[in-house]
Structure 1
């Protein structure tokens, strides 16, 4: 039985090293193809340490962390996301950013992804947010590292009420597993009204 629970404050802080390891492992697969390292992860996850309204939904199989999903008020990511959202007419202070969801493959297909969204959206509403958003990496349909059995999550996200925001695309740099250096990547934003 998988136990999904909300961690904030010191519990969130204590779980972040485990989240870093999960991010490195899960995001190594397509479509992210992320060749991550612990130093970068510690720096990236600092946002969740610094935000008093951050949330971490953690999935445990016994004592083992097998999945995690994070979120913060969008303005905590203003440097990264202010420009893409400037064209929407929405104030960052009305948005909640549902950041990553990482779940080990053997635990997928059992409703944990829905729990991740349910708990983050509930948290966003408790903060008075009117919209929730996340972004997903954009890869070409013919990418050479795309597995034959790859299925995008677009259908799952649409069932949850999310739709892509035309023209609202962020740029991030990371090192792909098949590249010698970091490269730019486009991430498409999806949003729903809460």
Structure 2
């Protein structure tokens, strides 16, 4: 269903990003508690991480508002300005780092999913990146969980379905890992799989 008529989508870049960081941090803290991330985060850490978007050239945040409530966001910045663990995954690939734009998040509140809004946010992000005229491809990373994971919901729809439908391809062998505290209070290592989409 495509029902986004009441939603306002706005692009933020540069200094304008700063005013959105608290809203994006709230989305991350709430949505990343869900499967498959199961992430137990802390606001101060989120704001510290998101602060990089105010400094990185060509970084952007796209917000989706329903009235006064922020219900979705997409974030991105050039891969060369991202974490070393993300950059390092591309060391032995044919993709030059300075041509890759990294999609950090695509977040939607549960009530707003499966309505075409994710595609709209991604399309807005892609249009912005193409207009910059510098980047050849988009990449993102997804957490890998076994299908048998005990906390996997019965109605779970993997993000990989959305990525495939919107033109991303799995980059076989291009992976990294991050450690974070899960909602049960235990820190675990999490393998991350990269995906790529050409922009030309």
> What TM-score results when the alignment is normalised by the length of structure 2?
0.92
Task: Name the count of aligned residue pairs.
Answer: 193
Larger CA deviation: 129-138 vs 4-13: 4-13
Counterpart among 128, 132, 139 of residue 133 in structure 1: 139
Match of 1:142 among 115, 127, 148: 148
Q: For residue 89 of structure 2, give the secondary structure of its aligned residue in structure 1.
A: helix
Instruction: Report if aligned partners of 2:39, 2:182 keep a CA contact under 8 Å in 1.
Output: yes
Indicate conservation of the 8 Å contact 1:82/1:92, yes or no. Answer: yes
Range with greater deviation from structure 2 (51-60 or 148-157) = 148-157
User: Is contact 1:78-1:92 (8 Å) kept?
Assistant: no
**In structure 2, C-alpha distance between the alignment counterparts of 1:146 and 1:179, rounded to whole Å:** 18
Alignment gaps of 5+ in structure 1: none
- 1:67/1:104 contact within 8 Å kept: yes
Determine whether 1:27 maps to 2:32.
yes
Which moves more between the two structures, 78-87 or 57-66?
Answer: 78-87
Aligned to 1:155: 161
CA drift at 1:60: 0.2
- CA shift at 1:171, angstroms? 1.1
Instruction: Give 1:126 deviation, angstroms.
Output: 2.1
Residue equivalent to 1:77: 82
What is the distance in 2 between the residues matched to 1:78 and 1:65?
26
The alpha carbon displacement at 1:153 in A equals 2.2
Q: CA deviation at 1:67?
A: 0.7
CA shift, 1:78, in A, is 4.9
Which of the residues 38, 46, 50 maps onto 2:43?
38
Q: Kindly indicate whether residue 174 of structure 2 is the aligned counterpart of residue 168 of structure 1.
A: yes
CA distance in 2, matches of 1:150, 1:78: 29
- The answer on 1:96 being equivalent to 2:96 is no
**CA RMSD, 1 decimal:** 1.2
Normalization by structure 1: what TM-score? 0.95
Conserved? CA contact 1:131–1:191, under 8 Å: yes
Separation (CA, whole Å) in 2 of partners of 1:106 and 1:11: 27
- SS in structure 1 of the partner of residue 153 of structure 2: coil
